[in-house]
């Protein structure tokens, strides 16, 4: 890895005129603090290549990074920057904040979808990079693998910081020598050992860099709210570090409930309309007239943007075919907008069990709202996340014929993923044909993994648990998930090949944490309680109003509702410490008193060697506290 600053200095050497060409390269040795054998008679290019290799070796550190997240990456190359003399007041405010030693550690830029936050973030990152004040950049994008989660966030930022502050390198190398799996550890551990401690170990900062600015775009698109909170809390700890502190510029959207009526700004609406009016084979004037029928006084921004397109497609169907068209639209497009990461037409065909040609002709009229590549191996993507909001927002159900039931769609995908993994051509033992065990993942070529684990199979491995959890479905006898769990252990092998075996324990815990309620009269499924930890025991109160469940060191009290929804009423903590097996004590038995005012819970460590309970606790239901 050679930083942009080093490359810039290399370019100076190429332009420098010296008596001997190689002297132009040797003149950089002092500037770059490098010792290199002088070999007069070699060409300038050879000297520069040797110098670059020495610098790269000196700065090399084996950290996994998320691809395409930097403001200067190829994926961001052609995306917009602020035009000259625009947004000047805001850009000046950001620059002043970054230079203010007494300023806050985080500058939060929040706004609706399409208001240009990413454009500002790219402009700011480029400006700070040119001024040698950038610390790093990470442009999140929902559904784009590592761009959509925090698994590679700190390792990526650490590598960026090393490029600008090479003095951090020894600290990072030491941390990796002590723990080669550091990049797979908890975010707190990654931050402390890859960023905080190496920053504290700096003897001096590079010139003009008393503060480094880290630009984080679209943080709201990072999976798991707890990771978003962790990123902000951890980075804020670098504010007062000397000799170089960290300032963090964050862009994000408001919560979705704040977007109900605001939704899509004018230029997103205009872009969608332009694509629709320019549809091949259509009459632009006729299409524009249809769009203008959706007046602002009657329709929300979201409705005006997308109804004109979809209503036109539905109107083109025969009356007897409209319901079938809507069902197929919700099946295909609903799956596309719900997917955790985008899939190609070829992969969608195998996951959803729809013929490729049928997917192609169903999607062809939707180029104004979807990015549909001609190459069927390239992902189909949303042109804008507001299209997803338009389709799945609960308040749209009554007035939007195209509404997609998010929970039902997750449920279908929760079945389709295990079916894909279980069927012929799915997962199997030694799927990469390695023959003998013991290969390190780093020894297996990426193309070998890709050819044996195609994109749709990788998707199913990574995301089936998430779809199951979001569907609120139960694991029923003989349904696809139950059959998969009972017959398929090759999932662990596949996750290992994908470098994500560290997530398996978390994912299995999610499955175990789903407790199911049944109607005893008909033995039909009545509802599902979803906890964050495996549920060990469950009991009803006498009158049936409350349910108490025991999970890892916690008792949760739930209130049943008439519409079969179950909401957490209170979390009671108190079972703590270690049992004889070294594990945390878990509530193994729960009971309500006859009057329903007190809950008794008994705990143990869950080991097979301990049959007795270690502690019994009483809980006051009315006060929701520990009874004396």
404, 320 contact by CB (below 8 A): no
Which of 177-191, 294-308, 590-604 tops mean pLDDT? Answer: 177-191
Q: pLDDT averaged over the chain? A: 75
406, 466 contact by CB (below 8 A): no
Nearest residue to 441 (alpha-carbon basis) of 486, 502, 516: 502
Q: Where are the beta strands (DSSP E) in 444-534?
A: 514-519, 524-530
Nearest residue to 199 (alpha-carbon basis) of 210, 207, 208: 210
488-521: per-residue pLDDT in tens?
A: 668 878 888 887 776 776 676 666 556 555 554 5
Tokens of 316: 């083109």
Q: What is the pLDDT of residue 347?
A: 94
DSSP assignment letter at 624: T
Q: What is the pLDDT of residue 327?
A: 92
Q: Is the dihedral of CA 467, 469, 472, 476 positive or negative?
A: positive
DSSP 263-283: -S-HHHHHHHHHHHHT-TTS-
**619, pLDDT greater than 70:** yes
Q: What is the pLDDT of residue 454?
A: 92
Counting residues of the chain whose pLDDT is more than 70, the rounded percentage is 66
- How much of the chain is helix, strand and coil, in % rounded to 5? 45, 15, 40
| pLDDT band for position 244 (cuts 50, 70, 90) | confident
Distance (Å) of CA 350 to CA 320, 326, 493: 29, 21, 21
Alpha helices in 382-445 (DSSP H): 386-392, 406-422
255-281: per-residue pLDDT in tens?
A: 543 433 333 344 455 555 565 555 555
Q: Is the dihedral of CA 2, 443, 148, 338 positive or negative?
A: positive
97-106: per-residue pLDDT in tens?
A: 888 877 778 8
**479, pLDDT greater than 90:** no
Query: Residue 171, Cβ neighbours under 10 Å: how many?
Result: 21
Distance (Å) of CA 133 to CA 6, 129, 156, 245, 251: 15, 6, 17, 11, 19
| pLDDT band for position 612 (cuts 50, 70, 90) | very low
309, 387 contact by CB (below 8 A): no
Q: What is the pLDDT of residue 562?
A: 42
305-338: per-residue pLDDT in tens?
A: 687 778 878 887 888 888 999 999 999 999 999 9
Distance of CA 601 to the CA centre of its chain: 38
211, 217 contact by CB (below 8 A): no
| pLDDT band for position 352 (cuts 50, 70, 90) | very high
117-138: per-residue pLDDT in tens?
A: 888 999 999 999 888 888 899 9
Residue range 52-76: mean pLDDT, rounded: 75
| pLDDT band for position 216 (cuts 50, 70, 90) | very high
User: Who has greater pLDDT, 508 or 486?
Assistant: 508
428, 490 contact by CB (below 8 A): yes
Residues 6 or more apart from 418 whose CB is under 8 A from it?
A: 460, 464, 480, 481, 483, 484, 488
Tokens of 53: 């290799």
- Please count the helices (runs of H) and the strands (runs of E) in the chain: 24, 16
619, 555 contact by CB (below 8 A): yes
In angstroms, the CA 486 to CA 277 distance is 52
Q: pTM for the whole thing? A: 0.48
**570, pLDDT greater than 60:** no
């Amino acid at each position: 890895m050679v930083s942009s600053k080093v490359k810039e200095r290399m370019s100076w050497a190429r332009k420098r005129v010296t008596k001997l060409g190689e002297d132009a390269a040797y003149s950089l040795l002092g500037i770059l603090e490098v010792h290199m054998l002088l070999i007069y008679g070699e060409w300038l290019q050879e000297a520069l290549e040797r110098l670059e290799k020495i610098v790269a070796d000196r700065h090399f550190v084996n950290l996994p990074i998320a691809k395409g997240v930097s403001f200067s990456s190829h994926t961001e190359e052609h995306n917009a920057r602020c035009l000259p003399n625009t947004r000047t007041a805001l850009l000046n405010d950001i620059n002043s904040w970054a230079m203010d030693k007494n300023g806050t550690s985080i500058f939060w830029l929040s706004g609706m979808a399409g208001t240009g936050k990413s454009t500002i973030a790219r402009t700011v990152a480029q400006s700070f990079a040119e001024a040698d004040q950038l610390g790093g950049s990470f442009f999140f994008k929902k559904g784009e693998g590592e761009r959509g989660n925090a698994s590679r966030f700190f390792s990526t930022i650490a590598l960026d910081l090393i490029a600008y502050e090479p003095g951090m390198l020894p600290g990072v190398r030491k941390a990796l020598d002590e723990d080669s799996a550091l990049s797979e550890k908890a975010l707190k551990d990654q931050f402390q050992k890859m960023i905080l401690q190496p920053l504290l170990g700096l003897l001096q900062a590079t010139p003009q860099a008393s503060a480094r600015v880290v630009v984080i775009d679209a943080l709201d698109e990072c999976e798991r709210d707890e990771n978003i909170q962790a990123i902000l809390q951890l980075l804020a700890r670098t504010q007062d570090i000397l000799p170089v502190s960290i300032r963090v510029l964050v862009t994000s959207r408001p919560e979705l409930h704040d977007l109900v009526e605001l939704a899509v700004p004018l230029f997103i609406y205009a872009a969608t309309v332009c694509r629709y009016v320019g549809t091949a084979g259509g009459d632009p004037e006729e299409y524009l007239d249809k769009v203008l029928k959706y007046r602002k006084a009657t329709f929300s921004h979201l409705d005006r943007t997308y109804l004109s397109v979809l209503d036109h497609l539905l109107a083109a169907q025969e009356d007897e075919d409209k319901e079938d068209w809507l069902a197929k639209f919700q099946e295909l497009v609903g799956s596309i907008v719900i997917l955790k990461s985008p899939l190609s037409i070829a992969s969608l065909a195998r996951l959803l069990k729809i013929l490729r040609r049928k997917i192609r002709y169903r999607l062809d009229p939707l180029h104004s709202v979807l990015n549909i590549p001609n190459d069927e191996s390239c992902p189909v993507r949303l042109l804008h996340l507001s299209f997803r909001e338009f389709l799945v927002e609960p308040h749209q159900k009554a007035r939007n014929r195209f509404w997609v039931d998010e929970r039902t769609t997750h449920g279908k995908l929760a079945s389709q993923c295990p079916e894909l993994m279980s069927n012929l051509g799915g997962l199997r033992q030694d799927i990469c044909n390695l023959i003998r065990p013991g290969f390190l993942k780093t020894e297996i070529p990426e193309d070998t993994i890709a050819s044996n684990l195609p994109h749709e199979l990788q998707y199913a491995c990574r995301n089936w648990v998430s779809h199951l959890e979001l569907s609120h479905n139960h694991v029923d006898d003989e349904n696809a998930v139950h059959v998969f769990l009972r017959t398929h252990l090759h999932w662990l092998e596949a996750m290992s090949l994908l470098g994500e075996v560290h997530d398996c324990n978390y994912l299995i815990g999610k499955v175990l944490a789903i407790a199911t309620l049944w109607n005893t009269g008909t033995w039909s499924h009545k509802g599902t309680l979803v906890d964050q930890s495996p549920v060990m025991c469950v009991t009803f109160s006498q009158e049936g109003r409350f349910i108490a469940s025991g999970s890892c060191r916690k008792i949760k009290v739930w209130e049943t509702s008439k519409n079969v929804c179950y909401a957490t009423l209170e979390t009671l903590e108190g079972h703590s410490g270690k049992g004889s097996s070294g594990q945390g004590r878990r509530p193994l038995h729960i009971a309500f008193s006859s009057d329903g005012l007190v809950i008794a819970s008994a705990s143990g460590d869950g080991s097979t060697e301990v049959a007795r309970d270690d502690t019994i606790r009483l809980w006051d239901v009315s006060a929701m506290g520990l009874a004396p």
